[in-house]
Structure 1
Amino acid sequence: MSDRLKALADAGVSIWLDDLSRERLRSGNLEQLVAEKSVVGVTTNPSIFSAALGEGDAYDDQLRELAGKGVGVDDAIFTITTDDVRDACDVLRPAYDTNPADGRVSIEVDPGLARDTDGTIAQAKALWASVDRTNALIKIPATEEGLPAITAVIAEGINVNVTLIFSIDRYRAVMDAYMAGLEKARDTGLDLSTIHSVGSFFVSRVDSEIDDRLDTIGTDEATALKGKAAVANARLAYAAFQEAFSGERWESLAADGAQPQRPLWASTGVKNPDYPDTLYVTDLVVADTVNTMPEKTLEAFADHGEVEGDKVSGRGAESEKVFEQISAVGVDLDDVYVVLEDEGVAKFDDAWSDLTKTVKDQLEKSA
């Protein structure tokens, strides 16, 4: 057992792995990470599946079988990815049985549906039914069109991981959509205690976008602010979380068994080599959160990460000042968040196209 990762878990941070592949499942690697690295959840996205299917031969037998049945590309992707997520849910089931907030495995709706509310709802239901595990989470992007889909899916008792959250305003809307779904679920008599959700707040991409703009501005004041935005943004998100999950509306839901929608720190792999490789883990330690890490970040923290206590609570005013300074030197923060959301959707869409091409090629080769 990694002492450093155990200390992180003991501080109230649920450690999830941001990766999944059939090879990881077959080799027992995922079970090993659960046993030795305190991993209690898994997140996936189109990029992860594209990489998994593009390497090795773990999917060859299933691709040949699907090709022999004449299954189309979209249906093949659906079958392959839900099979992997179902198997991962089974590996994580003991963690779920210990704490139902964890032991979770996420699978994302087709990113091409990010601006399609009805399409998102339909595919979320289909993914949920296919995986058929209570510890699954269906990932829905936090676009404007995704918000009503979140409410509708939660209202039917489907667990949701809301992805691609960048701004505090959008995060507040996500939490509102979650609670609206819970209220609808309660009205239809569903057991609220069985419904779980996380809000995936993206971290490193905020620094990447704002740092580029600060570099373009080029003043000493601007340069001094590099590397400060992402952590400050996440700290403000946590303050918004604390505010939203208190008060009369939430207390009424909690009295009926509702569970809070925990913040999940996503995109925690450091992209700037000048920053510490555990920056977005160490500086975001706080209870009641999830940190989903690529394996490289997980191993870095296991090797030399430090838990220095709660680095988030009570730092809202300090974080607000960071953004006041960033705005004062000329960064248009509203534009930053629009660009980040659009790029996030586009990147997953591109990865989905790569995944489609990979599966199409392999089906043709296996036919």
Structure 2
Amino acid sequence: MSENLKRLTGQGVSIWLDDISRERLRSGNLEALVRDKQVTGVTSNPTIFAAALSKGDAYDAQLRDLSVRGVDVGEAVRAITTYDIRWAADVLRPVFDATDGVDGRVSIEVDPRLATDTAEKTVAEARALWWLVNRPNVHIKIPATVESLPAITQALAEGISVNVTLIFSLERYRAVLEAWLTGLEQAKAAGLDLSKIESVASFFVSRFDTEIDKRLEKIGTPEALALRGKAAVANARLAFAAYEEVIASERWQALKAAGAHPQRPLWASTGVKNPDYPATLYIDQLVTAGTVNTMPEKTLDAAAEQGSFVGDTIRPGYEEAWDTMAALKQVGVDYDDVVRALEDEGVEKFVASWTELLGTLESELDKAG
């Protein structure tokens, strides 16, 4: 077992794998990562499933059965994805039990085409996935679009554990925290056991640097270029500061007294996109207790081999984070435009991956028939 990863989890950071596939499950790879590399959760998204389905023969038997039954592609995609999520949830069930339900979680995303649709449709999809997976350690992923904020509240109010995804801006994150608190308050009023409702808020990291670095390079001044690779960590640290404000509030303390658990900040998209940056940049610089870092396996391996995880690296960086944000504004980076572009791009990418997944699945069903 990696001593580096033991140090990281010893700081109170939960390591989740940002990947899932039938091959990973049937080969025992996920079990090995839980055993050897401190993995205590799994996240998925349409891009991950599209990649998994396009490789190997792990899905062939189920595809043949679905083809024989003549199911449509919408039913087929949910049959296949929820099968993998159930399997992963069963692998992680011992972790779930050992942590009183905090970790051992597996996430599955609502249809991303609903991200800008009515909250009613997103809630209906969340209910359907919660029922289809039928495991206590599942998280239903709902995007943090303005249209989906009421769905986050409603799902939590009904006792559905939620992974809020695609968060880029501090303002939207505060709205997510509000939706979470309101959902728990409604669940409490309905008499639900708050200790059984878990939530994480997935704050995207590397994509933030990619977008801002592109703008800094276009500006091209020495002052602008000196800020490359600094924005994402600063943004995430300030998100944690916003989280701390909520956790210190009387409103949260009342929910905590009723048995609720915090909505942990989750650092998503932590694989570096720029090869000039250290592979563990978004792990080393975002260490503090009560957070989750979800990593692709390549980043997990880098953390095991290279990471230096000693002490809190978020709270001591608050002042530097504010200075970075002020400097970005000074050189001409429009924060509001950046986060708007990133959210739009994020939704578009997941919709494109979902469309690709449906297309691949339709083709595979035809071949299986």
Does TM, normalized by the shorter one, top 0.5? yes
CA distance in 1, matches of 2:223, 2:241: 27
Aligned partner of 1:316 in structure 2 is: 318
CA distance in 1, matches of 2:166, 2:322: 21
1:201 to 200, 203, 218: 203
CA distance in 2, matches of 1:96, 1:345: 30
Contact 2:18–2:43 (8 Å) recurs in 1: yes
| 1:55 maps onto 2:32 in alignment | no
| TM-score, length of structure 2 as denominator length | 0.99
Aligned partner of 2:116 in structure 1 is: 115
CA distance in 2, matches of 1:222, 1:182: 43
CA distance in 2, matches of 1:162, 1:305: 27
Aligned residues: 367
- Please list the CA deviations of residues 1-25 of structure 1 after superposition, one character each: whole Å capped at 9, or x if unmatched: 1111111111110000000000000
- SS of the residue corresponding to residue 16 of structure 2 reads strand
- Please list the CA deviations of residues 92-144 of structure 1 after superposition, one character each: whole Å capped at 9, or x if unmatched: 00100011110000000010000121111100000000000010000000000
Aligned partner of 2:153 in structure 1 is: 151
CA distance in 2, matches of 1:118, 1:57: 37
Aligned positions of 1:260-271 closer than 5 A: 260-271=262-273
1:226 to 225, 228, 240: 228
- Measured after TM superposition, the shift of residue 175 of structure 1 is 0.7
Aligned positions of 1:177-196 closer than 5 A: 177-196=179-198
- Measured after TM superposition, the shift of residue 150 of structure 1 is 0.1
Aligned positions of 1:78-157 closer than 5 A: 78-99=78-99, 100-116=101-117, 117-157=119-159
CA distance in 2, matches of 1:141, 1:93: 25
- Measured after TM superposition, the shift of residue 314 of structure 1 is 3.8
Aligned positions of 1:29-40 closer than 5 A: 29-40=29-40
CA distance in 1, matches of 2:328, 2:315: 22
CA distance in 2, matches of 1:335, 1:10: 38
Identify unmatched segments of 5+ residues in structure 2: none
1:344 to 325, 343, 346: 346
Letter in 2 for 1:220: P
Aligned positions of 1:184-333 closer than 5 A: 184-333=186-335
Contact 2:7–2:310 (8 Å) recurs in 1: no
CA distance in 2, matches of 1:310, 1:69: 54
In percent, how many aligned pairs have the same letter?
Answer: 62
CA distance in 2, matches of 1:275, 1:25: 31
- Please list the CA deviations of residues 314-343 of structure 1 after superposition, one character each: whole Å capped at 9, or x if unmatched: 432221110110011001110000000000
Aligned partner of 2:357 in structure 1 is: 355
Aligned positions of 1:56-75 closer than 5 A: 56-75=56-75
Contact 2:42–2:105 (8 Å) recurs in 1: yes
Letter in 2 for 1:152: Q
CA distance in 2, matches of 1:294, 1:196: 23
The alignment's C-alpha RMSD in Å is 0.6
| TM-score, length of structure 1 as denominator length | 0.99
- Measured after TM superposition, the shift of residue 245 of structure 1 is 1.3
Identify unmatched segments of 5+ residues in structure 1: none
- Measured after TM superposition, the shift of residue 172 of structure 1 is 0.6
- Please list the CA deviations of residues 54-113 of structure 1 after superposition, one character each: whole Å capped at 9, or x if unmatched: 000000000000000001101000010001001100000010001111000000001000
Moved over 3 A (4+): none
- Measured after TM superposition, the shift of residue 308 of structure 1 is 2.6
CA distance in 2, matches of 1:332, 1:127: 38
